[in-house]
Amino acid sequence: MSSWERRLAVVCLVFGVLLIFLGGSSYLVEQRLTTAASYPLIAGVALLIAYAILDPTAVRDLFTSRQSRFGTLSVVVTAILLGILVMGNVLAARATQSFDLTKYKNNTLAPQSLLVAQRLDSTANAWLWDNSGDPNLASTRNLLQRYAAASPHFKVTVEDPNNDPATARAQGVKVVDTIVIQYRGKPQLLNPGSQTEQDITAALLTLESTRTPTVCWVGGEGEGDLKNTDQLQGYSETSDQIIKDNFRVRDLVLSQAASVPADCDVVALVGPTKQIPDATVKVLTDYLAGGGRLLLAVDPWREAAVTARYNAVLTDYGLSFSGGLVVPDAAHAARGEPTATAVLQYGSSPIARDLSNRVSFFPEATSIDSTSKPDVLETPVAQSTADSYLVQQPRQPPLTKDAKDKSGPFTLMATAERTPPGGKKSRVVLVGTGAFAENEVLASTAVNIQLLTGSLNYLTEQEALISIPPKPSSNPTLALTQEQQNLNLWITLIALPMFVVVGGVLVWWRRRFS
């Protein structure tokens, strides 16, 4: 046979074996003869047949000559090793046991999500309708599989809407890459952009719950506006976060209400600037006496009469806002904001669970004072350091410490539960600044988001579900001291090259003169 026929036969042999290997691997992984497996297998067999036709002598020698037998043995050993590798990868891909070695446990469900998944008592079907081929959806598929690994009741199906358009339409799918979760006969759709762990867990909670708690956001007294989208002082992110955490939000004008509406599970009064009348004080006092739940955030340096009216609501709890401004020490002040306290240590409240050594910010906060009451359980959530101090009356900066300024630590956020004899249990969450939930602050740290949603979960007695801390998405960085940087440079630029050079010289010397 001619040389070109021999070369063509070798090409057919190489590509035939390669295609059969690829097709077989695809079949082992998919456990069914898909297009991705069948086409390579057919093409591979065809190329091997072409090889046998082009070079029949080589095929005959493969089974007769001694050299071919040794070559065949090598091929068999190689095939066995490749088969072991393929089977190992297949078994690893199917194994449910895994180890998350990432710093922030990015591949592990939060304890709250695990609790929700393990609490499922019937099948929850999750469909991911995908035909876009978007590689970013791989992380979404992996996230759904983590829920499936956590609960045998959570079933995941990835489907192309073009293959089953009737089911997609019946589920209300309008765009590709939509997740549909069905549980107890109720569906929940998660559109692209709303498919994080927090979104999926919130969807399961929505399907599991027979009702959605309502947060009544008070307005009319200069409070923060949930419709304000200003990037600095707006509260639109707070509104989005509350809804995302399975709460309903409605506006409430207390000054026009004779009582708190019955559908209000939580009353939120954040950052008021005006004095409330006696009638409103009575409305709030009666609401708490009847087992109400209140989130109250008051800013420092308001008029004494303004602060006093809100303190009147808290008389039965032995709590009050001091009205002064807490000034942190330089080591615990936000960058460029000397009056914004950065908190790293937290109290034993369930709101602050898993927050130790994570930073939250309390811009321009006042302190919360407490007096022990026998029927009240008060728990600090966040506190300033012992080096902080309280400036009671407004004065011009710089706010250096004066002799009359009280020293810390100060409570910046607290919870209280009151159970009077023969009465109903009520709960309050107090925060020394309304700015803790402003758009700028929520964008700067996920911990403030957890404090916000954790407060609402505490008030509605859903402590087991208190917030799912978002995983940091930024690339990890290695912080080195100057000494460590110098050592790294010396090892990589001097020591290792010198080691190679010296080793080479020694080898040359030995060979040259031995």
469 pLDDT band (50/70/90 cuts)?
low
SS in 3 state form for 154-219?
Answer: EEEEEECCCCCHHHHHHCCCCCCCEEEEEECCEEEEECCCCCCHHHHHHHHHHHHCCCCCEEEEEC
pLDDT in tens, 155-189: 999 998 888 889 988 888 877 888 999 998 888 88
Q: Which two tokens stand for residue 213?
A: 């708690």
The predicted structure's pLDDT at residue 67: 64
How many Cβ atoms from other residues are within 10 Å of residue 171's Cβ?
19
Residue 180: exposure state from Cβ atoms within 10 A (0-12, 13-18, ≥19):
buried
What single-letter DSSP state applies at residue 300?
S
Residues 69-76: contacts with CB under 8 Å, at least 24 apart: none
pLDDT at 365 over 90: yes
User: pLDDT band at residue 313, thresholds of 50, 70 and 90?
Assistant: very high
Q: 251 pLDDT exceeds 90?
A: yes
Closest CA to 122 of 191, 181, 196: 181
Q: Does the fold of domain 213-465 match that of domain 111-206?
A: no
Per-residue pLDDT band at 97 (split at 50, 70, 90): low
Question: Which two tokens mark 127?
Answer: 């469909």
Hey, is 76 helix, strand or coil?
Answer: helix
Q: What confidence tier does 31 reach under pLDDT thresholds 50, 70, 90?
A: low
Query: Which are the contacts of 284, defined by CB distance < 8 A and separation ≥ 6?
Result: 254, 260, 267, 292, 294, 313
Between the alpha carbon of residue 68 and those of residues 7, 47, 72, 78, the distances in Å are: 18, 20, 6, 15
> Chain-wide mean pLDDT for the chain?
86
Q: Residue 217 in contact with residue 171, Cβ under 8 Å? A: no
Give the tens place of pLDDT for each residue, 371-425.
999 999 999 999 999 999 999 999 988 899 999 999 999 999 999 999 998 889 9
Backbone angles phi, psi at 435, to 5 degrees: -75, -10
pTM of structure: 0.62
Q: Answer whether 416's CB lies under 8 Å from 281's CB.
A: no
Query: Which class in CATH covers the domain with range 111-206?
Result: alpha beta
Which CATH code of 3.30.420, 2.40.128, 3.40.50, 3.40.720 fits the domain covering 213-465?
3.40.50
pLDDT of residue 328: 95
What is the mean predicted confidence (pLDDT) over 482-508? 85
- Sequence letter at residue 256: Q
How far apart are alpha carbons 11 and 97 in whole angstroms?
Answer: 42
Poorest-pLDDT segment among 42-46, 353-357, 422-426: 353-357
Query: C-alpha dihedral over 326, 327, 330, 336, to 10 degrees?
Result: 100
Residue 459 confidence (pLDDT): 96
* Confidence category of residue 311, pLDDT binned at 50, 70, 90: very high
pLDDT for 369 equals 97
Q: Please tell me what DSSP assigns to residue 495.
A: I
pLDDT at 287: 97
pLDDT in tens, 114-128: 888 999 999 999 999
Residue-level pLDDT at 451: 92
The pLDDT confidence band at residue 243, using thresholds 50, 70 and 90, is: confident
The tally of CA atoms less than 13 A away on the side-chain side of residue 304 is: 3
Q: Where is pLDDT greater, at 13 or 264? A: 264
Lowest-confidence region among 34-38, 218-222, 485-489: 34-38
The residues spanned by each domain of the chain are 3-94, 111-206, 213-465, 481-514
